[in-house]
Each structure stands twice: as C-alpha cells, then as structure tokens.
Structure 1
C-alpha cells in the first residue's frame, strides 16, 4: 500500500463552490477506481480569523500498490486536474497502520498531522504506538485512520476521518471538510 496527498492552495477569493461542484461531479466516478482503497475528497476554507489559513483542495488517497498510484498520475483524470488547477507536488507515505470502518462513506470531517521523526527514534516503537493510537481513535468513532511515514523527509503522517467534527488534539493539524469518499465497489 501507499498513501498519497497533494494540496492545492487556492486564492482567497477562489470560488470554492467550483471545487465543491468538481467533487460532486467527479467523486462518484472514482468509486471502484482500479487499485484505489480510498480517496477522501478534502477541502479547507480560508478563515480570516486564523492567520495563515488558506483555501485548499487536498485529496488524500490510499493505493493498493505503487502501480495504482503511477497509473493514476499518468491518467487523463490527473492531466485534467493539472490543466484546471495546476500541477501539484505529490507527497507519499508508506503506511504503518490503516483502519477503515464499514461506514467510511459517511465521513464529513478529516484531520491530518505530519510530525518530524527524530534521528534517534525507534521506528518499531513509533509504528507500534501508531497502531495503538489508531485503534483508540476508532474506538472514539473515527471512520478511518491512516498512519505512515516518509523515509525521505523522516516525517510521520496521521490522517483521521470522522462523521462528526473531531476534537483535534494537535494544534498544528490541518482540518478538512470531506466532500466525498471514493471506495472500491463490491
């Protein structure tokens, strides 16, 4: 498996309703997409009271294999995104632990945190702790938790999806609205 996200910062006056329409139109087309375990169609709105907040379109993907990811990045769908919004930098992580609940399609909120991994960190212990934290989040009602790491930048990823707005513990976490969740078809 491989986790992937790109985040497109949009102008303060960008008509976010256009992004919502894009998600409504294209989201269902990705249900059953080859090798896609999950795509959470994420957005964030600029909040003038929060310094540094911006309009974002930032879908998060969980691929069955790197081949699924590379096939998508070479696809007409990704070419259309690049034409319409610009070619984004794509971040990837190797999943450590993934939990997906049966009601995942009902997710409406998400959070993502990326933290640095210390040079002397015990990766096995971090991975084990990520699994414990993921199970705890699921017990509190999370519909999905994906944790992983990027060995190029030595960062740890935590993405959580919720039906109700979560109480985010990490003040540096990015909070999103979920417009659609694309899943494999039965």
Structure 2
C-alpha cells in the first residue's frame, strides 16, 4: 500500500466555494478508480478548525502503486495541473491502514507529519504507530487511521477520517471532506 498527498495553498481572500464546486463536480469521477483504496477530497479554510491557510489537499490511499501512476499520468491530474500548476506530491509507505467498511459518514480529516528522530529504532516505531492506529479506529467517530513513513525525508504521516471534527492539537491540520471516492 501507498499513501499520497499534494496540497495547494490558496490566497487568504480566495473564494473557497470554487474548491467546493470543483470537488462536487469532479469528485465522483474517481469513484471506482483501479487500485484506489480511497481518495479524500480535502479543503481547509483559513481561521476554521485552527487552519492558518486556505488549502486544497487531497489524500489518497492506494492498494497498489500502479493506481497512483495511472492517475498521475491521466487526464484528471492533467486538468488539475492546468488549473493549479504541478504540485510536489508527498508519498509514504503504509505501515497501517485501519479503514472501517462504512465511510459514508466521513465529514472531516486530519493529517499530522512528524520527523523520525535520527537513529530511531524503526521496528519499535512501526509497532507503536500500528498499535496507535488500531487503538484509535472506531472510537470517537474515527472511521480510518493511516500510519505511514517516508524513508527519503524520514517522516511519519498520521492521517484520519472522522464523522465529526477532531480536536486541533496544534500539530495536526484539520480538513473538511467534500467527497470520498473508493476504488
């Protein structure tokens, strides 16, 4: 499995209804995409849920990396880059993907990036992250928890899907989920 995210920071006075409309219009095109676990169409508004910026930042869970390659080389991504430019795409190797079968109530997401300390014991860190993801899924309106790492930048990503807004921790970015596609 592979997780992937790109993000566009939009001007403070940007009309976020444009992003909402884009998600409504284009989101269903990803439903049933091959090798996709899910795509969460995410947006954040400056001043809401602790966000300091207006963001459009989809997050993907791929069952197979071929799906990511097909998407990035396809017409949907070409239309995105025509509208917003070519983003830097972050991607991670998934350690744990705890996803409930029913995601119909998904309304919010959060994402937290953490640096892996130099010389951290990776097997122990992996075990901790997997246990945390399993422990949190299903409780407090948590519908999914992803724990993944990037061995290039030595970072961990913790990603969650929620029925209700999660608390802002100061280290997580909270998003609205405008649409959720499943493969």
TM-score (norm 1): 0.93
Q: Does 1:12 align with 2:7?
A: no
Cα deviation for residue 73 of structure 1 reads 0.6
Name the counterpart of 1:70. 69
Does the CA contact (< 8 Å) of 2:138 and 2:144 recur in 1? no
Q: Secondary structure at the match of 2:137?
A: helix
Gaps of 5+ in 2: none
Contact preservation (8 Å) 1:105, 1:180: no
Cα deviation digits, residues 68-122 of structure 1 (max 9, x gap): 1111111110000000111111000000000111221321111100000011211
Please name the residue that 2:52 is paired with.
53
Structure 2 equivalent of residue 21 of structure 1: 21
Cα distance, 1:131–1:68 mapped onto 2, change above 3 Å: same
Is the contact between residue 49 and residue 174 of structure 2 (CA under 8 Å) also seen in structure 1? no
> Against the structure 1 CA distance between its residues 92 and 49, is the aligned structure 2 distance closer, same or farther, given a 3 Å change threshold?
closer
Q: CA RMSD in A?
A: 1.6
* Displacement of 1:167: 2.4
Question: Does the Cα contact within 8 Å between 2:129 and 2:147 map onto a contact in 1?
Answer: yes
1:105 match: secondary structure: coil
Distance in 2, Cα, partners of 1:6 & 1:48: 20
Q: Following the alignment from structure 1 to structure 2, what is the Cα–Cα distance between the partners of residues 15 and 155? A: 32
User: How many residues are paired up?
Assistant: 182
Corresponding position of 2:114: 115
Q: Assess, with a 3 A threshold, how the Cα gap between structure 1 residues 173 and 49 changes in structure 2: closer, same or farther.
A: closer
Report what 1:41 is aligned to.
41
| CA displacement at 1:175 relative to structure 2 | 0.8
**4+ runs of 1 displaced by more than 2 Å?**
none
- Report the Cα offset of residue 178 of structure 1: 0.6
Partner of 1:84: 83
Gapped runs of 5+ residues in structure 1? Answer: none
Q: TM-score, normalised by structure 2?
A: 0.94
Measure the CA separation in 1 of the matches of 2:157 and 2:179: 21
